[in-house]
Amino acid sequence: MESEEESTLGEDRASDPILSPLASCHILGQASRWLCNIISRLSYSVTLATLTPSGSNSSDYFEDEDPGFLEALDATVLPGDLPPSDESDAEDLEPPPPGQPSLKRRHPDPDPVDEAIYGPSHFGNFGEYAHRKRAKLQIQNSEITAAGTQSQILKGIAVYINGYTEPSIQELRALLVLHGGVFQPYLDKKSIVTHIVTCVLTEAKMREFKNMKVVYPTWLTESVKAGTLLPWRDFIFVQGAPPASMPRYAADASNPNAQRAMAKPEWRSAHTAAAPGFIKGYFQHSRLHFLSALKAELVQLVAEAQTHAEAKFAQEEENTVVKVGPDSPVKGKGRASEARVIMHCDFDCFFVAAGLLSRPDHRGKPVVVCHSQGTQGGSSSTSEIASASYEARDFGIKNGMSLQQARKLCPTVLTIPYEFQRYKDLSLKFYTILMSHADEVEAVSIDEALIDVTGAVSRLRSAAAHAGSPHDPAKDFAERIRAEVKEATACEISVGISHNVLLARLATRRAKPAGSLHLLPADVPALMATLEITHLWGFAGSHRDKAREKLGSTALSALATKSRAVLCDALGPKTGKRLYNAVRGIDHTELRSAKQRKSVSVEINYAIRFDSNEKARDFVLGMAATVEERLNEVKMLGRQIVLKIMKRDPSAPVEGPKFMGHGACEVFNKQMPLDDGRATSDQKIIGEQAWKMLKSFNFPPAELRGIGIHINKLEPADGPTNTDSKQGKLPFKPSEAVIHQPSINQPRISGHATTSVAGTSADGSLPAIEEVDQAVLDALPVDVRQELENEWRRRSESPFPGKAPQPPAPPIQHGSGPLRLRSAAPQGVFPQQRSVKPPTRMQQSALRLGPRNGAYVIDKNSIHPNRPPNAFLRPTDTDLRKLDVDPEVYAILPPEVQREQLTVARLLQAGGIPEVSGERLTLKPRKYLPPADLFRQPPPYAKYPERPKLRQQGRKGEKMFFTEADDVQSLIEAWVNAFKKFPPNEKDLEFFAKFLVQSVESDTGVERAVAIVKWWLVLLRRYWGDYEHFEDFGDEDARVAMAWWGAFRGVKERLDLVARKKFGGRLSVR
DNA sequence: ATCCTCCCCTAC
DNA sequence: TAAGGTAGGGGAGGAT
Ligand SMILES: Nc1ccn([C@H]2C[C@H](O)[C@@H](COP(=O)(O)OP(=O)(O)OP(=O)(O)O)O2)c(=O)n1
Ligand SMILES: [Mg+2]
């Protein structure tokens, strides 16, 4: 499993290993991963066998084995790796010789580099392996019979206990012996040790045990409690993490509150997804929906502003070049090779900071934002924490954690409610300021943005050079932005500065809280050497696991030694390249702006509890209505629907640990064309289709845990739609339509010609504003900003839930009138729709804001007296004509196309890109703190407990390989565990069957298929031998048993069918 | 090689 | 009580 702290640095990894860092809610049935893995391994093992000239033939592969072998196979603890010779089975537990991680085994035919790294494969053949296994078995069996123990739960486990543990070493030893395990007092070559149990590890021990299975004592205690050997991975030791006080096993726990509530029918019909109006209420309260929805708006707003700004800039650049000459620093995108200055700006604990504005008494205390308030829920609230104050983080509380966990860490933690409207207001202020300074802005989220300030810093730098200032102009600029944001919002942001996005993001983490940091190229290697792969943006658990398993390390220092080819082999071509560069501090990522939408979706995976198909159907239709709204909002139609269903994993309790959560689920996607391939947004078509698809799964409604409708293959809704007219990316429409509510956009473009050009960056306006700003705190500049912010707010509100219930298809009034009027004031924390304000003059505001920038330029006249650095100005018609762009045509283009046109036009006209001074001020090198202090806040979020997860390694059967972390032993453990209590997972079964069929069809795979089926048969007989020829649906056990036998017979039949075609006979598995 | 489809994964 | 959404990147593996 992945635990959150694994992806954080050293001492910061202080969280409960039961948590998962994945924000994703796809908690898949673990069984399917196990199967993938098992099959990977098996295909490999048997491939080896077939390479061995053993003379065995396919139908009697195991024929010569005594029956005891197969029967005992599943009960046996297999070695962690295939033994190359007669050495102890525990050889894989020995630390590898330095520089030669012998545990990393690959299939023969490795790529040359890997070959060099891993050394030659030294697998024995499968037959030899089998015999050795048998020998070992006998030894074990004799031990067991001699032992006379209480249970055999820990059979085959040989444990070395390291250092101080809780429970004590004596207790653990007793536990081991009592349940059939072996206590190993020594760790040397002669002792067989399958696992190391520990609560703490020194750095040295950490290295020593790097390739061993190191677990918390809870693995043993919880296994005994559970009466079965739990997967050791669930209890894997993580450096810096506390001993798993709360069992990982909680993933399987049931929430008693939920059970109680669900027992009452009236509660169910009022509070689950079957309740009337559930969807609307849900989205009003969902923070994640809020984040997603607002991000989309911000991206859109920035794109529009930037589009027009670029036209403006393009035109001005032309002038500038003429006026100032080629040597002048030039801002923005036109520059040829000057190093960029990228800033990453992010509010500190944003939701908390916003909430504290009206709760000054809570400052300095551990505070979290969550739905549960006061003492609600007591110590058992599963309410999720959206944001934790830095004081709370000192206790180990993290964003995404449940309140009950937080209360365990800090019983006095204070909770404050969500205030979505306030977050939005603050965010708009924040973006307003950034846009007034930056050449380019990428809206990352409500509280976070990337800005390219190359131009502004460049001007500052040359000004500073004149003044002989020793300061870093970039840092000065960042501090200035911080101050402005603080003034406008009373909240702290932190700013990371560097020459690319990757490094700017890294810098931010060190800058936090309430600071800025300029990461200079010279310091990059030293920093990188201290980092883990998961510290890089975009790399998380899956990459870390792959790195660990395929590359032998998750440390960037180690990964830096790998060739690009090796990284690509392990992580895929794109990701491999990205990592290869990232490790070297290289990142060419451009700031991203709005692209054409590719999909529109609605998904709810919370409180889905249906007791009838009717309820489920109503809900699906409600979801369809919601997608239609969203499609209309962006004026898109879709040709394809994807229905996403989460269904309770058969192994998961009916009520999982999180109150009304989805728990462990299997996820199913089904896609179909909509309306015979015609693009539509019609909720009736979508709803009926979705319901048909859901029905076709044939899932009991009570098992559903999540439903999503995704609409793909989008195309613009041409012409006036029959519904809402919200702003969207509708190309080739009359400008009124493009400009959504006419009142606002109309003046924006045409009015611009009069206002903006005249005022253009009139230097004169700047000092005035600055003065007023400083003299009277909330005077003119604030007004100006307010105007702009209000404007944005007005424009960005409509897509939010909380707006008035919409008639299905109100006729649109082009040209006038409020966009949407609310009939009633909805409750909830979501920003509410306001009535539309009269048009404002955004461009004017922007212009007046722009010059504020100039205040930073010490000697303005020596730079660009006539050009405001603000890149977010709209082009006037005059601007456009200068660029040979027809303003009327331009006006009706979607922002993306507008941008493109402008870029082309600008390049054509500029004829060349002015050279820029590459001069950099050399500043005193920065010392890096040790990793512990490097990042004060670990990035990942404590999430839901996750089940064991094994990944399929490599690409094809041919390329499978063993690693120390993913060995046969684990697979058997996993397999056996998966078998015990539950019916087979449908997807696993299908995958498994398909794999076997393919094996039989291929000429080389018959043997392995037969071996696997035999093995399967042995397992089935072992657990449910009584049911093999017996029909009994009595109890739950019988049901499970019958399910497995049915699955087996089904697969066997399919295989026989294939075999008959191919060989003219059935497969013998007896 | 390059495309397409079906997912998983990531970020906030 | 609680509100675990959402879009896009990209890998795996098959079709062309
Ligand atoms: N699992 C999460 C993570 C974040 N958020 C929301 C609340 C956060 O305040 C906001 C911004 O996320 P950040 O990752 O920027 O976290 P913070 O701003 O809270 O803290 P900081 O940026 O100081 O680390 O997004 C959330 O609801 N759930
Ligand atoms: Mg933040």
Amino acid at A562: K
* A80 close to A967: Cβ distance less than 8 angstroms: yes
- Please name the residue whose Cα sits nearest to atom 4 of ligand 1: A386
Give me the A residues in range 358-397 that sit within 7 A (CB) of strand C.
Answer: 370-372, 376-377, 381-384
CB-contacts to strand B (7 A) = A 22-24, 26, 28, 288, 291-292, 295, 444-448, 537-543, 667, 669-671, 939-941, 951
Instruction: Out of A9, A22, A399, give the residue to mutate to test ligand 1, the one with the largest number of ligand atoms within 8 Å of its CB.
Output: A399
Q: Is the beta carbon of A581 within 6 A of some atom in ligand 1?
A: no
How much is the average pLDDT of A360-367?
Answer: 97
Which nucleotide's C1' sits nearest to the alpha carbon of A952?
A: C12
* Confidence bin at A196 (pLDDT 50/70/90): confident
What whole-number percentage of chain A has pLDDT above 90? 38
Atom in ligand 1 nearest the alpha carbon of residue A937? 24
Q: Is the CB of A944 under 7 A from strand C?
A: yes
pLDDT at position A234 over 70:
no
- For the CA of A943, the closest atom of ligand 1 is 1
Give, in order, the Cα–Cα distances in Å from A193 to each of A46, A366, A915, A977: 27, 44, 66, 21
* Identity of residue A986: E
Residues A825/A830/A833/A837 CA torsion (nearest 10 deg): 120
Q: Which nucleotides of B are covered by protein (CB under 7 A)?
A: 5-12
Distance from CA(A234) to C1'(C9), angstroms, rounded: 29
Other beta carbons within 10 angstroms of residue A764's beta carbon come to 10
| Helix or strand run (H / E) with residue A214 | strand A214-215
* Distance of CA A585 from the midpoint of ligand 1 (Å): 25
Name the pTM for this structure.
0.59
Query: How far apart are the CA of A386 and the centre of ligand 1, in A?
Result: 6
Between the CA of A563 and the C1' of C2, what is the distance in angstroms?
A: 49
The most confident of A61-65, A124-128, A299-303, A354-358, by mean pLDDT: A354-358
Closest CA to A434 of A895, A869, A920, A894: A869
Distances (CA, A) of A248 to A313, A407, A672, A982: 56, 18, 39, 20
Q: What are phi and psi of A342, to 5 degrees?
A: -105, 135
- Beta-bridge partners for A672: A641
Mean pLDDT (whole number) for A113-127? 21
Q: State residue A609's pLDDT score.
A: 98
pLDDT at A747 over 50: no
Whole-number distance in Å between A351 CA and B12 C1': 12
Residue predicted with more confidence, A326 or A419: A419
Helices (H), A935-1034: 968-981, 986-1001, 1006-1024
Lowest mean pLDDT among A63-72, A418-427, A515-524, A809-818: A63-72
Pocket test for ligand 1, best of A350, A450, A535 (most atoms within 8 A of CB): A350
CA gap A133, A821 in Å, rounded:
75
Which of A437-451, A472-486, A747-761, A892-906 has the lowest average pLDDT? A747-761
Residue A112 preceded by cis peptide, ω within 30 = no
Residue A238's pLDDT is 66
Q: Which helix (H) or strand (E) holds A203?
A: helix A203-208
Per-residue tokens: A257: 């509150």
Centroid of ligand 1 to alpha carbon of A388 (angstroms): 8
Give the H or E element holding residue A324. helix A287-324
Hey, which of A371, A447, A509 would you mutate to test ligand 1's pocket, going by the most ligand atoms within 8 Å of its Cβ? A447
**Distance between CA atoms of residues A265 and A270, nearest Å:** 9
In window 209-268 of A, residues with CB < 7 A from nucleic chain C are 257, 261
Distance (Å) from CA A45 to C1' B5?
A: 30
**What pLDDT was estimated at residue A1010?**
74
Closest C-alpha to A931, from A527, A518, A506: A527
**Residue A448: its H or E element:** strand A448-452
pLDDT of residue A13: 29
Question: A641 and A691 in contact (C-beta within 8 Å)?
Answer: no
Mean pLDDT, to the nearest integer, of A64-91?
A: 22
Give the residue nearest to nucleotide B8 (CA to C1'): A26
- pLDDT-derived band at A1032 (thresholds 50, 70, 90) equals low
pLDDT in the model for residue A895:
57
- Strand C proximity: list residues 262-281 of A with CB under 7 Å: 270-271, 281
Q: What is the pLDDT of residues A828-880, one digit of tens each?
A: 455 544 332 222 222 222 222 222 222 222 222 222 222 234 556 445 566 66
Q: Ligand 2 centroid vs A387 CA: distance in angstroms? A: 9
| Token pair for A589 | 């990522």
Task: Identify whether the C-beta of residue A131 lies closer than 8 Å to the C-beta of residue A82.
Answer: no
Spacing of A35 CA from C12 C1' in Å: 16
- Ligand 1 binding pocket includes A347 (Cβ within 6 Å): yes
Instruction: Decide: helix, strand or coil at residue A449.
Output: strand
**For residue A184, what pLDDT is reported?**
74
Distance from C-alpha of A82 to C-alpha of A133, rounded to nearest angstrom: 10
Please tell me the distance from the alpha carbon of residue A348 to that of residue A345, in angstroms, as a whole number: 10
**Angstrom distance (rounded) from CA A790 to CA A784:** 10
Nearest CA to ligand 1 atom 19: A349
| Contact status, residue A428 vs residue A305, Cβ threshold 8 Å | no
Cβ-based neighbour number of residue A466 at 10 Å:
12
The finding on whether A24 has its CB within 6 A of some atom of ligand 1 is no
Nearest CA-CA partner of A939 in A579, A536, A583: A536
Residue A875 phi, psi (nearest 5): -75, 140
A346 within ligand 1 shell (Cβ under 6 A):
yes
Cβ-in-10-Å burial (0-12, 13-18, 19+) of A883 comes to buried
Which whole number is the average pLDDT over A442-457?
A: 96
Q: What is the pLDDT of residue A799?
A: 31
Q: For C4, which residue's CA is nearest its C1'?
A: A25
User: What are the structure tokens assigned to A112, written together?
Assistant: 């040359």
CA of A942 to C1' of C6 (A): 19
Among A840, A835, A863, A838, residue whose Cα is nearest residue A851 = A863
Whether residue A767 has pLDDT greater than 60 = no
A287 CB within 6 A, ligand 1? yes
A808, pLDDT greater than 60:
no
CA A914 to C1' C8, in angstroms, rounded, equals 35
d(CA A162, CA A16): 20
Task: Write out pLDDT tens, residues A243-280.
Answer: 322 333 345 688 999 999 999 999 999 999 999 999 99
Strands A158-162 and A182-184: parallel
* Residue A868: per-residue pLDDT: 38
Higher pLDDT, A753 or A415: A415
A767: Cα within 13 Å, side-chain hemisphere: 7
Closest atom of ligand 1 to CA, residue A288: 27
Whether the CA torsion A790, A796, A801, A805 is positive or negative: it is positive
**Closest atom of ligand 1 relative to the A23 alpha carbon:** 1
User: CA A757, C1' C4: Å apart?
Assistant: 50
Q: Which nucleotide is nearest to A534 (CA to C1')?
A: B10
A221 versus A898: the higher-pLDDT residue is A221
pLDDT in tens, A299-347: 999 998 887 776 666 666 555 443 333 333 333 444 556 799 999 999 9
Structure tokens at A29: 């049935």
Higher pLDDT, A350 or A227: A350
Per the CB < 8 A criterion, the answer to whether A528 and A9 are in contact is no
Q: What is the mean pLDDT of chain A?
A: 65
Judge whether residue A515 has pLDDT over 90: yes
pLDDT at A1029: 74
Highest mean pLDDT among A150-164, A478-492, A954-968: A478-492
- A511: nearest Cα among A644, A650, A718, A344: A344
What is the best residue among A7, A349, A430 to mutate for testing ligand 1's pocket, by most ligand atoms within 8 Å of CB? A349
**Residue A696 pLDDT exceeds 60:** yes
Mutate to test the pocket of ligand 1, among A295, A387, A390, A424 (most ligand atoms within 8 A of CB): A387
* Mean pLDDT of the A527-536 span: 96
Q: Is A944 in the pocket of ligand 1 (CB under 6 A)?
A: no
A211-215, A921-925, A939-943, A1012-1016: range with lowest mean pLDDT: A921-925
Nucleotide nearest A540, CA–C1', reads B10
Residues 567-596, chain A: which have Cβ under 7 A from strand C?
Answer: 571-576, 578, 595-596
Task: Give the nearest ligand 1 atom to A445 CA.
Answer: 11
Q: Which two tokens stand for residue A577?
A: 């390249």
Instruction: Fill in the amino acid letter for A260.
Output: R
Chain C nucleotides covered by protein, CB below 7 Å: 1-13
Q: Does the Cβ of A871 fall within 6 Å of ligand 1?
A: no
Omega into A101 within 30° of 0, i.e. cis? no
Predicted ipTM > 0.95: yes
**CA–CA gap between residue A577 and residue A594 (Å, rounded):** 25
User: Per mean pLDDT, which range of A217-221, A689-693, A796-800 is the poorest?
Assistant: A796-800
pLDDT, one tens digit per residue, over A896-913 is 556 656 545 554 444 322
CA proximity to A248, closest of A225, A279, A270: A225
Cβ contact A850:A299 at 8 Å: no
Q: What value does the mean pLDDT take over residues A358-366?
A: 97
